[in-house]
Every structure is written in C-alpha cells, then in structure tokens.
Amino acid sequence: MDESTELSLSIAHIAQRLQGSHLHSQIERQAKVSRQLPPSHPPAPPEHLKEPLAYMRKAQASWEKRILKSLNSMSTELGVPLARKRPAAEQKELTNKWNEMGTDEPDLSRFRPVYAPKDFLEVLIGLRNPNHDSCEDISARSQWGLIQVPLNVRDIPHLRQAYSELNLNSGQLGIDDHAHVHPDLFENDYVQIGKKVVVEQDSAAAQQYSRRGCPTGLRADLWALILNSTNQPQDVMHYEQLRAGVIQHDLLVDNLIYKDVKLTASNDDYYFVFEDFLYQVLLCFSRDTAVLEHFKYNSATPPKSFLHGKVGDEEYAVVYPPNGVIPFHGFSMYVAPLCFLYNEPSKLYSVFREMYIRYFFRLHSISSSFSGIVSLCLQFERLLQSHLPQLFYHLRQIGAQPLRIAFKWMVRAFSGYLSTDQLLLLWDRILGYDSLEVVAVLAAAVFAFRAENLMEVKSLASAEAVLADLSTLKVIPLIQIFLFATAI
C-alpha cells in the first residue's frame, strides 16, 4: 500500500468514525448553513454594517466630534494630559490600594462629566431624515412626539407575539413567586428547571428560561451562561493584564470614571457599598482593547489619537481610551447592579463587558437598531400615543413631554431607578429576549400606572414629582398588564 492510499484510508476511517459523533453533526450543520447561503454577492461596506442609514451615521459622527472637542479642551484647560505613564512610585502606590480605591479622595472638582443623558436627548430630538417629507407634519401623528425619525417600532399586537412568554397565563418570577402564592404552585418547579439548565450548561435554554425570570440563587450562573462568560483561567489572566494596564498608565477618563462613581453609585443607597468594585471594573474596562471589536456593529467610532509627538504618523495612531468608549454621566450604573451577582472581580468584569458589547452600547449611540435608544424613545412615545392618547395630549399641553421624563430611565436601562430585585427581574427579560425593547415597554407602563395622578398635574415639575420614586414599583406585573391586559 503506497503512502497516499494509506492516508486516504485513514481519512476515510476517521470520517466513518466521526459519523454519529458530536463533531460530525456540527460539521454537517455548518455545511448546510453554507450551502443555503445565497449565491455570493458583494459585501456591504463596513460603515453600512455599523449603521445602514447615512443620516444616522452623520449625526453620530457629529455628536462624537462634540465630545472629542470637549475632552480636548478639558485636557488643555486643566493641563492634564489625556494619557501618561505613571511614575514608578505612583504605580506602587496604586498597586497597594487597588482594593480600596474608594478611600482615596482625589481632588476631582476640576473635572466635569462630559455629557449627561439630557444633552444626548437634545441630539436625538434634533434628528431628521433629510428625505422625509415634513411639510404636512402638522397634522401627522409624528409631530406629537419628540422623536421625528420614521423608524420601525412594534405596536402592542406585535409585542404580544414577540413576548408571548410574559402572557397572563404563564408563571413569572416577579409575580408568581410573591409571598402569598404557595411556592408549590409555580416557584418550586420553576427553580428545579433552572437548576437543570445550569447543570446542563445550555446557553440557549438559559436564555429561554430567563424570559420568565431567573431565581435569585441561580441568576449569576444563568446570566453567565447566556453571555458565555465562563471565567476561564485566560479570562482571569486577561483581567490581570488589564489591571496592569491601569497601574502603568494614567488616563484622563479615569478621573471621569471616579467622578461618575462618586456622583452616582456612591450616592445611591443600594450601590454605595460597591464603590471599590466599580472602580476596578470600570478602570479595567477602559483599558480593554477587546471592546473595540464591537465597533464593527456599533454606529459609534472609537476616538483616535497619535502618540506624543508623532502626529499624523499612522504607525503611532492609537485609540483613546484603549477601549474606545468615553464614559458619560451615569455610565457606572451599568455595572452597579451586577455587583449584586458576582463577587469575583474578573467574573464581574467579563459579565459586564459582555452586557456592554451586546446591549448597553446601544443606549448611548445613535442608530436605527431595534434596541437602539432612538427606537426605544420612538417606541415609548408611540405606545403612549396609541394607548393613552389623552394622557399624552395632556402632558404635551402642559409642556411635560413624556419622553423628557422617561429618557433618563431608558438610557440607564432603569438602573438606579428601580429597587434592585426589580431591576434584575427586568434585566432577566433583556437577556432572555436579547433586546432592550422591554425597557421602552416598562417606561410606557409606568406612565400608564400613574396615569390618574398624571392627568391631574399642571406642570413638568409636578409630573416629574409624580414619577420621581419608582423604587416601589413591581415591574413584571406592570409590563404584563400593559402588554396583555390593555384593550387594543
């Protein structure tokens, strides 16, 4: 037998044995997928993958430019470089106090948050499609709300289809685990299923399961499973690497992060205990170049700079901050609730990063995505307009556009506004449905819930007062009633 025959024999043999194995079925599936692909056609250009609508791309670019300009001017005014290497002594000091960065009280009075959600809202309100005929808008419904771009958003009948697991007949965590419901009716069985899902390590099952809520004891595992953050040794190593990056280099955005944590999470009754954790995670996040990957599908573009003295030299072009994300006021609230679930920093970190590159980035970049903030705003307004027209009209008449109140909730995915158990139940659904739509639904449901009081108010300030405290709300019943018990 010559060599080539032998080789083909071995291959044949392997192929035979492969049949029936797991790998074979995977290969087969892959082959099927590739065969079903349409005949090859020219790929869309990268910017189209970031955001298909040209005017949205443009709006995002000019918004970024404003942010960059202000960062630049902050750096020049304060005489603080955007990035510098820490001297050895400083590095050592930071290493020593890594776990208690919160005790440090640097003078941050000179630093200012780059922007707040309110400023971002103004940009979204100003968005226009240049090809949209606005001459007859006076009578058109679009004029009633603040968002003027004609995106596709789902109405209640479509939402009912998409969110069928939330219907009135199926058990929900957040409703049916209430103290007065006997646990045998729903909770016990449901928790058992959850345990099974965790044992099986089945990501898809975990996602499906999460649609009806994750039990508190299993949530950390289920979320990690959905997000495929397994916290392997290499993840821990990666985290250590990032930590080293923080210790070596000092960034101006670090001060923004400090400031933001001090202003938001440290001032929050639920989250202030996590201050140190938040610094660790957010500072490491800012050094993580793996985050740059998500700019392929994010309409935002990471800021670019050139290393000191090498202006224009592409070889010395770098992204700033290394992860390309400039934190805005409230950014740390994306991390804070996760601190309740994970006490190991590397694990907390990898879950947060995954949450960010899947969901949260959409809440502060201008895009036409379903889960993008523009769509959420429009969906919120449309839901109110079609289901509570009187309320919407009333609020608009007194100068209290509902979106002006709800925007801050949505931009943070309600983090910092709900009580934590409720917030986690909401985020269960975000993960379960792989979409932020439910955030807009909840915002509308909150208005519906307080509709009676809101009809009485006479000013924006008093409307805001009515909606000031959401920490007593039970979110899942609100969503369920709004979606499935509203007459349509």
Partner 1 sequence: MSFDFSIEGRVYPSTPKKMSEIPDGRQPVSCTVKPPVYLQIGESKAETTQSGVCVVDVTLPFGKPVSIEEITFKNYYTAYITVRLLRRTSGQDGPTKWCTALRDLLLMDNPHTERGSQDYYSIHRKQMLVEADHVVSVRLILRQPSCAWLTFSLEEIKIFPHMEPEPNKEVSDWLSDLILVDQHLDAEGLPDPQTVSSSIQQMWALTEVMQTNQTTASIGRFDVDGCYDINLLSLTAWRKTPDQKQQTQQRCPDVPLPRHLLQLLRGGAQGVPRPAKKHSPFSVSWAIPWASSRWDESGTPLEEGVQEASGIDARATSSRCGGAAALLRAPPGWANGKSG
Q: Which 244-273 positions form the footprint of partner 1 (CB under 8 A)?
A: 245, 248-249, 259, 262-263, 266-270, 272
Helix (H, G, I), strand (E, B) or coil at 471: coil
Q: In this structure, how many other beta carbons lie within 10 angstroms of the beta carbon of residue 196?
A: 12
Q: Which of residues 336-375 bind partner 1 (CB under 8 A)?
A: 368
Q: Which of residues 34-93 bind partner 1 (CB under 8 A)?
A: 37-46, 48-49, 52-54, 61, 64-76, 81-85
CA distances from 376 to 224, 409, 469 (A): 26, 11, 22
User: What character string, x for contact with partner 1 (CB under 8 A) and - otherwise, covers 140-179?
Assistant: ---------xxxx---------------------------
Query: Tokens 């009135």, residue?
Result: 168
Query: Tokens 């990268």, residue?
Result: 46
Query: Considering the complex, what minimum distance in angstroms separates the CB of residue 405 from partner 1?
Result: 9
Q: Which range, of 357-365, 385-393, 426-434, 465-473, touches partner 1 by CB under 8 A? A: 465-473
The pairs formed by 14-17 with CB atoms below 8 angstroms and a separation of 24 or more are: none
Residue 233 contacts partner 1 per CB under 8 A: no
Helix (H, G, I), strand (E, B) or coil at 84: strand
Query: Considering the complex, what minimum distance in angstroms separates the CB of residue 384 from partner 1?
Result: 18
Helix (H, G, I), strand (E, B) or coil at 175: coil
Q: What is the DSSP letter of 148?
A: -
**Residue choice 3, 314, 397, 487 for contact with partner 1 (CB under 8 A):** 314
Q: Which helix (H) or strand (E) holds 209?
A: helix 203-210
Helix (H, G, I), strand (E, B) or coil at 106: coil
Helix (H, G, I), strand (E, B) or coil at 43: coil
Considering beta carbons, is residue 204 or 317 the nearer one to partner 1?
317
Query: Considering the complex, what minimum distance in angstroms separates the CB of residue 392 from partner 1?
Result: 19
Dihedral pair phi/psi, residue 85, rounded to 5°? -85, 135
Q: Which helix (H) or strand (E) holds 248?
A: helix 233-248
Closest C-alpha among 486, 466, 467, 468 to residue 478? 486
Residue 303 contacts partner 1 per CB under 8 A: yes
Q: Which of residues 119-138 bind partner 1 (CB under 8 A)?
A: 119, 122, 129-133
CB 219 within 8 A of CB 428: yes
**Residue choice 125, 193, 466, 481 for contact with partner 1 (CB under 8 A):** 466
What letter represents residue 425's amino acid?
L
Considering beta carbons, is residue 25 or 192 the nearer one to partner 1?
25
Residue 386 contacts partner 1 per CB under 8 A: no
Query: Considering the complex, what minimum distance in angstroms separates the CB of residue 438 from partner 1?
Result: 20
Query: Considering the complex, what minimum distance in angstroms separates the CB of residue 463 from partner 1?
Result: 8
**Residue choice 168, 181, 465, 485 for contact with partner 1 (CB under 8 A):** 465
